[in-house]
Amino acid sequence: MNTLFLDAAFSKQTERPPVWMMRQAGRFMPEYWEIKNKYSFLEMCKTPEIAADVTMLPVDLLGIDAAILFCDILVTGEAMGGDLSFTQGVGPRFANPVSTLADVEALEIDVLDKLQYVADAIKVIQQRLDNKIPLIGFAGAPFTVMSYLVEGGSSKDFKKTKLLIHNKPEVAHLLLSKIAKVTADYLNLQIAAGVNAVQIFDSWALALSWNDYQEFSHRYIQEIIANLNRKDIPVISFCKGSSVFAPIMAQANPDVVSVDWNADLLNIKNSLPAGMAVQGNLDPHVLYADKPVIKKHILQLFERMRGEKGFIFNLGHGIMPDIPFDNVKYAIEVVKEFKY
Q: What is the pLDDT of residues 210-254, one digit of tens each?
A: 999 999 999 999 999 999 999 999 999 999 999 999 999 999 999
Contact 239, 217 (CB under 8 A): yes
Query: What is the DSSP secondary structure assignment for residue 153, as one 8-state letter?
Result: B
pLDDT tier for residue 155 given thresholds of 50, 70 and 90: very high
pTM for the complete prediction? Answer: 0.98
Measured between alpha carbons, how far is 143 from 203 in angstroms, rounded to an integer?
Answer: 9
Task: Annotate 207-253 with three-state secondary structure.
Answer: HCCHHHHHHHHHHHHHHHHHCCCCCCCCEEEEECCHHHHHHHHHHCC
Q: What are phi and psi of 71, to 5 degrees?
A: -165, -155
pLDDT tens sequence across 313-324:
999 999 999 999
3-class DSSP state of 314 = strand
User: So what's the pLDDT on residue 220?
Assistant: 98
3-class DSSP state of 93 = strand
3-class DSSP state of 33 = helix
What is the arithmetic mean of pLDDT over 60-66?
98
Measured between alpha carbons, how far is 221 from 142 in angstroms, rounded to an integer?
Answer: 7
Residue 88 pLDDT greater than 90, yes or no: no
Measured between alpha carbons, how far is 241 from 315 in angstroms, rounded to an integer?
Answer: 14
Closest CA to 79 of 201, 203, 183: 183
